[in-house]
């Protein structure tokens, strides 16, 4: 995959490439290999990673970082804890399966349990607004 992606970028005449992924582990390694191969081909790579750096953000952000490519952007930390206060009513089901909690109860959960909370493209913000 890395060689093919690099060949496509070279054939298109790109000077730089922004590369992202979804998932972790193997996907982190695949992305790192792509970034390094692009750098070896003199195509400036920029990687966008969603981190898994522990609740306090002090752990290693990616499973296998690139060795030569150095431009990396964090799309956020899936392990960061969110505290959500109790609400009077909730839309949808009565419970939150991943947190084993009532849908209206206060929650202390990792960002990863909030569906769509981090964008591997680096766009978006985690927020909640009152319905009108």
| pTM exceeding the 0.85 threshold for the entire prediction | no
Task: Please report, rounded to a whole number, the percentage of residues in the chain having pLDDT higher than 70.
Answer: 87
Task: Output the furthest CA–CA distance in the chain (Å, rounded).
Answer: 57
pLDDT at 20: 87
Residue 130 lies in a domain: no
d(CA 54, CA 64): 16
Q: Which domain holds residue 79?
A: 2-113
CB contact burial 15-50 (16+ within 10 A = b; e otherwise): eebebbbeebeebbbbbbbbbbbbbeeebebbbbbb
Residue 126 lies in a domain: no
Residue 121 lies in a domain: no
Residue 119 lies in a domain: no
> Is residue 126 scored above 60 in pLDDT?
no
**Domains held by the chain: number:** 1
Contacts of 58 (CB under 8 A, 6+ apart): none
> Is residue 37 scored above 90 in pLDDT?
yes
pLDDT band at 62 (very low <50, low <70, confident <90, very high): confident
> Is residue 24 scored above 90 in pLDDT?
no
């Amino acid at each position: 995959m890395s060689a093919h992606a690099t060949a496509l970028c070279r054939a298109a005449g790109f000077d730089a490439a922004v590369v992202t992924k979804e998932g972790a582990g193997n996907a982190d390694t695949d992305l790192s290999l792509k970034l390094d191969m692009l750098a070896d081909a003199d195509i400036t790579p920029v990687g966008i990673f969603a981190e898994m750096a522990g609740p306090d953000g002090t752990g290693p952000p990616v499973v296998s970082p690139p060795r030569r490519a150095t431009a990396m952007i964090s799309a956020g930390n899936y392990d960061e804890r969110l505290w959500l206060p109790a609400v009077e009513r909730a839309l949808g089901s009565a419970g939150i399966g991943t947190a084993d909690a009532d849908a209206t109860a206060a929650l202390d959960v990792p960002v990863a349990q909030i569906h769509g909370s981090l964008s591997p493209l680096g766009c978006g913000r985690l927020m909640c607004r009152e319905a009108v």
